[in-house]
Structure 1
């Protein structure tokens, strides 16, 4: 894979991990304003997930790369995103499978997993490229820790 530079997230953590992956998926955007995107069509999405933290787990990982692949690639690859009614909705615009919502959803899925780990790292950013000329960057609002 070619080296790619992504916008960086300033943070105070000791470790930063980035995972690149691709997945092919179809979708449609059920809104009149979506134009041609109202029709079912597909993309080869390219995602980069940025995770950071101060503590490694018992295996010496911030998070195991294979877990990230299982969480995202294995869930979305060769799927119709609209069929994943846990993540997306044809009735709520904030859950239509647009690039923005897919990026946010990836972050939510990853963070949900990370919140259940002993070392509790943070998903700081999801970069999601839908086409060679279009991408979205999602960064969740900072969470204040009581640690």
Structure 2
């Protein structure tokens, strides 16, 4: 049977600031992110399986991405924990805001790498993460492809 790619799209709102950056993005601001997750696999050929003909049930893929990414990043503010932004993060957190401290500069490029690692470990063994596309604005996005990261 043929390998088939399927894609599920997600959206979430996240704030961030790029410490040390020389442009406007050094300021705290937010984006309406759109994440496209593409996996590849062979459709289930067992006619007695309730998921016959599916590579993966879209609801199963949704559960993984929602739990590990969307529910975590949506309406949170992300800062690199290795910058002075930790002081601002603590202040926001103390005031009840959702704050994430990560080990990287929270650019789209680094976020998509983080997301790929989180998704890969949750996928069933017969399903492979093919690609991610994280759209930050209407005209700007970062992409991750498994084939580029062998």
TM-score (structure 1 length as normaliser): 0.70
1:122 has 2:128 as partner: yes
* Contact preservation (8 Å) 1:20, 1:49: yes
Correspondences of 1:60-79 after superposition (within 5 Å): 60=51, 62=56, 64-67=60-63, 68-79=65-76
Task: Describe the SS at the equivalent of 2:67.
Answer: helix
Task: Describe the SS at the equivalent of 1:124.
Answer: strand
1:18 has 2:34 as partner: no
1:84 has 2:100 as partner: yes
Distance 1:139 1:120 in 2: 18
Correspondences of 1:1-147 after superposition (within 5 Å): 14-33=3-22, 35-54=23-42, 56=44, 60=51, 62=56, 64-67=60-63, 68-82=65-79, 83-85=99-101, 88-89=102-103, 95-114=104-123, 117=124, 119-140=125-146, 141=148, 143=150
> Which consecutive unaligned segments of at least 5 residues does structure 1 have?
1-11, 90-94
Aligned equivalent of 1:4 = none
Per-residue deviation at 1:70? 2.6
Distance 1:142 1:53 in 2: 18
Structure-2 change in CA distance of 1:53 and 1:142 (3 Å): farther
Structure-2 change in CA distance of 1:142 and 1:36 (3 Å): closer
> Which consecutive unaligned segments of at least 5 residues does structure 2 have?
80-98
Distance 1:13 1:78 in 2: 39
* Contact preservation (8 Å) 1:71, 1:109: yes
Runs ≥4 residues deviating over 6 A = none
Q: Answer with 1 or 2: which has the greater Rg.
A: 2
TM-score (structure 2 length as normaliser): 0.69
Larger strand percent: 2
Q: How many residues of Structure 1 are paired with residues of Structure 2 in the alignment?
A: 121
